[in-house]
């Protein structure tokens, strides 16, 4: 019978990468993905709405505007 290892220990020992940030795509890249278009369409969200939300959040956080938010 195989030895049972707690789930947390397996993640810790086998795959620590899920806990570390990696390179994230810029908003322009995400919004150009056809799969993202399908999900947004299904959810009834337009690119203009999403860009507006992101712009307002960046302003609230004091972060410079996204260069592709226009």
**54 closest CA partner among 35, 42, 40, 34:** 40
Model pLDDT for residues 24-64, shown as the tens digit of each residue? 888 888 889 999 999 999 999 999 999 899 899 999 999 88
Give the model's pLDDT for residue 22: 75
| Separation of first and last alpha carbons in the chain | 60
Record the pTM: 0.57
CB within 8 Å of 66: residues ≥ 6 apart? 26, 27, 28, 51, 54, 55, 58
Give the model's pLDDT for residue 41: 95
Going from N- to C-terminal start, the domains of the chain cover 23-64
């Amino acid at each position: 019978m195989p030895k049972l290892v707690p789930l947390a220990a397996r993640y810790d020992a086998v795959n620590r990468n899920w806990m570390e940030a990696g390179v994230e795509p810029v908003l322009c890249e995400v919004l150009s993905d056809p799969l993202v278009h399908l999900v947004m369409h299904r959810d009834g969200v337009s690119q203009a709405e999403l860009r507006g939300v992101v712009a307002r959040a960046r302003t609230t956080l004091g972060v410079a505007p996204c260069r592709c938010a226009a």
